[in-house]
Amino acid sequence: MSRVAVGGTFNPLHDGHKALLTRAHQLSSGGELLIGITSNEMAGKKYHEVEDWEIRKQAVMAFMQDTFGTSPLTVKLDDPFGPTVNEDFDYLVVSPETEPTAHLINTRRAEQGKQPINIELVEYVLADDGRPISSTRVLLGEIDIHGNLLQH
């Protein structure tokens, strides 16, 4: 029984996010999955408008319920680390974008004499043009949430 953490802004929820959440669910199989969703304040530092935290949480929970029949624990992230620095987890599921933060978490854990968390890297899901699906690209109207190119 593994304890797994994954975090993100999840706005809008796209196929790259779904790959992260799917891997986190697989690793937690029967254990505990904690999904950290960035707070409105922290998400406000992004380059684009972000939906309210509650709306983003509902989208993530609907995906988890509809796809896996589970309702994982969610927490609001006011910093990039959430509970991962102080609490023990077996896996931290990350994208290439968030992998550096995972290493920073393990550095902070080591400073406290804690065991490192296994980092599970989920590669980017690519759009039809071979570039990563990202919230920014979706919001700019380049691609849809599945990575299909949109006509301009």
Assigned domain for 141 exists:
no
Assigned domain for 131 exists:
no
Count of structural domains within the chain: 1
Assigned domain for 52 exists:
yes
Distance CA 149, CA 152 (A): 9
Residue among 33, 26, 137, 25 at smallest CA distance from 83: 33
Cis peptide before 12 (omega within 30 of 0): yes
Q: What CATH number should be reported for the domain holding residue 50?
A: 3.40.50.620
Assigned domain for 130 exists:
no
Assigned domain for 19 exists:
yes
Assigned domain for 34 exists:
yes
Residue 151: pLDDT band (50, 70, 90) is confident
- What is the per-residue pLDDT across 44-76, written as a single tens digit (0 to 9) for each? 876 668 899 999 999 999 999 999 999 999 999
Assigned domain for 80 exists:
yes
Residue 103, helix vs strand vs coil = helix
Assigned domain for 135 exists:
no
- What is the per-residue pLDDT across 22-48, written as a single tens digit (0 to 9) for each? 999 999 998 999 999 999 999 887 666
- What is the per-residue pLDDT across 93-149, written as a single tens digit (0 to 9) for each? 999 999 999 999 999 999 999 999 999 999 999 999 999 999 999 999 999 999 999
Task: Taking residues 74-79, report their average pLDDT.
Answer: 97
Q: Which range of residues forms the domain containing residue 75?
A: 3-125
Distance CA 11, CA 29 (A): 25
